[in-house]
Amino acid sequence: MRLAFALRFCTTRRWQTKQHRHRRLFHNQSLALRPSQFGALFCGWLVTAIPAVICGHIARSKIRKSSGALGGKGVATAGLILGYIALVLGIMGIPLLVSMIQSDRERLHRLSTERKEIASDDGQIKVTVPGLWTKLPELNKQASLQVGNKSKEVYLIVITDTKADFDNMTLEKHHDLTRDRMFQKMKNASATEPVPLTIDDHPALQDELTGTEKGTNVVFLHTTVDDGDHFQPRMLSGDP
């Protein structure tokens, strides 16, 4: 089953998870690694090159004015030459550094705007999400599929319940059941009226749950889909 609703709601409202509200992780470090390394090398190069040139000129001037009392002219000259070479190479590296930064910015923008499909391990559930989203297996042990963007702190959890495990269970009853389970974990919990939806030609219900958990305000976009053989509760979670 492909979950188009995940893309629609993730792009129209910003959600943050209660589990990671005090810290932001993985701010695209891997994408920025190369320009940052080159930038550090470039800055270090210039920091050493400029003092080398200045010190080389000062040394040569003092040696010249000493009328032979001071030695080391060859060393000063060699240092001055190396300093100028490093300075020229550093200046030549500026366009390369700018190009790398621009390239990675474009890559980040492309990933943030493009869409990709992520499937569960058994291939039964598929979601279409923004390009920066990845699988996050540590969110919920019962989930069939867990995806999200840690840097944006947006998470989607899909749980699959086989209909044969329930007696006389309807979509409405199952939706209420999962909602009540969430309420047990929250204080001052409330929910909007369930809205009927059709997701991939399957009937679904959706509401918004709000409350507090461990002293923090939380919001869950709660959707349940009846695919014929299973009920699939899905939680898009975050702080308001």
* 170-194 residue pLDDT tens: 999 999 999 999 899 889 999 999 9
Check residue 2 and give its pLDDT.
37
pLDDT digits (tens, 9 = 90+) for 6-39: 333 333 333 333 333 333 333 333 433 444 444 4
| Domain annotation covers residue 145 | yes
What pTM was computed for the model?
A: 0.54
Judged by DSSP in three states, 162 sits in strand
> pLDDT class for 198, splitting at 50, 70, 90?
very high
User: Quick check: 132 and 115 in contact, CB under 8 A?
Assistant: no
Do 60 and 179 reside in the same domain of the chain? no
**Three-state secondary structure along 119-141?**
ECCCCCCEEEEECCCEECCCCCC
Q: How many domains does the chain have?
A: 2
Do 179 and 189 reside in the same domain of the chain? yes
Do 167 and 226 reside in the same domain of the chain? yes
Range of the domain at 17: 2-27+132-238
Check residue 27 and give its pLDDT.
37
Which of 82, 111, 140 is where one domain is finished? Answer: 111
